């Protein structure tokens, strides 16, 4: 969910215990309503581009820093398209990742690896794997689509001084690496601030905190900082977005899997 995954880190009471799923129709309806409002408030942004710094950090504190550019295109009636181009360091320079999210069915994802000069399609059953050694999985890079989850409202909670809610998102895709994702969402602007990812054993695998929100076009919120911590390995990945621009003239032609080796 890197959108472009919009968001802000806060002072939240962190519970590391999985929350029980509920079969209460009222809580399911309330969770779904929050998810739909999140999506509704982010419709109409069109196209955008930004620069990104990704920092991979080991448990011992060693770091590798990568510089990238991202381009994104909103698709009416379906999920979004996103293109990521690696500029540095030299060992990943020229690597290009293309993702087509869908509201129904499997997402389409491809990666161009200049070392072998070939485009590789990411199979659906492999999308839980790590994205180029980071703590983000390929499935984390898809846009947020309501149809991909079942929702359950857990409780109201103050998030960074704003009214908020904690909801559980159960992926409907059988190939997802997660049994559930617990999301902390403010209900002032409907932005996620923290996500906890539970693995197939239903234990806490990763936590994503999202912060430094800024509003664009007087409507759309984007977070500058996202930090993913892997609780199993002690590793983490930071993503810093900068120079975010909207309405930059992107079209479908800029998101073509057959031209990934020539993406600029």
d(CA 228, CA 11): 16
pTM for this one?
0.89
pLDDT of residue 8: 36
pLDDT in tens, 46-81: 999 999 999 999 999 999 999 999 999 999 999 999
Q: How confident is the model at residue 264 (pLDDT cuts 50, 70, 90)?
A: confident
Name the band, by pLDDT with cuts 50, 70 and 90, for residue 261. Answer: confident
Reported as a pLDDT band with limits 50, 70 and 90, residue 236 is very high
pLDDT at 12: 34
pLDDT exceeds cutoff 90 at 22: no
Average pLDDT over residues 23-27: 84
CA distances from 133 to 58, 137, 170, 212, 261 (A): 11, 9, 25, 25, 21
Query: What is the pLDDT, as a whole number, of residue 25?
Result: 84
Place of tokens 């790590």: 130
């Amino acid at each position: 969910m890197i959108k472009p995954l919009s968001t802000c880190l806060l002072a939240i009471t962190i519970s590391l215990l999985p929350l029980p799923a509920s079969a209460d129709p009222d809580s399911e309806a309330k969770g779904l309503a929050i998810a739909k409002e999140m999506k509704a408030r982010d419709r109409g942004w069109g196209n955008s581009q930004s620069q990104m710094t990704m920092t991979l950090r080991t448990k011992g504190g060693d770091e590798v820093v990568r510089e990238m550019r991202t381009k994104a295109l909103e698709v009416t009636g379906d999920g979004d398209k996103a293109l990521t181009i690696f500029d540095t360091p030299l060992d990943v320079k020229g690597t290009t990742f293309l993702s087509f999210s869908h509201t129904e069915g499997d997402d389409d994802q491809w990666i161009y690896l200049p070392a072998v000069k070939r485009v590789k399609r990411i199979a659906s059953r492999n999308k839980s794997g790590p994205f180029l050694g980071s703590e983000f999985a390929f499935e984390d890079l898809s846009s947020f689509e309501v149809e991909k989850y079942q929702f359950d409202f857990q409780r109201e909670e103050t998030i960074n001084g704003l009214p908020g809610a904690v909801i559980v998102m159960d992926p409907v895709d059988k190939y997802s690496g997660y049994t559930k994702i617990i999301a902390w969402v403010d209900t002032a602007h409907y932005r996620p601030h923290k996500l906890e990812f539970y693995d197939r054993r239903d234990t806490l695998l990763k936590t994503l905190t999202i912060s430094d929100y800024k509003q664009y076009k007087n409507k759309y919120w984007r977070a500058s900082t996202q930090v993913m911590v892997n609780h199993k390995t002690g590793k983490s990945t930071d993503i810093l977005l900068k120079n975010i621009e909207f309405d930059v003239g992107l079209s479908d032609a800029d998101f073509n899997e057959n031209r990934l080796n020539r993406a600029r």
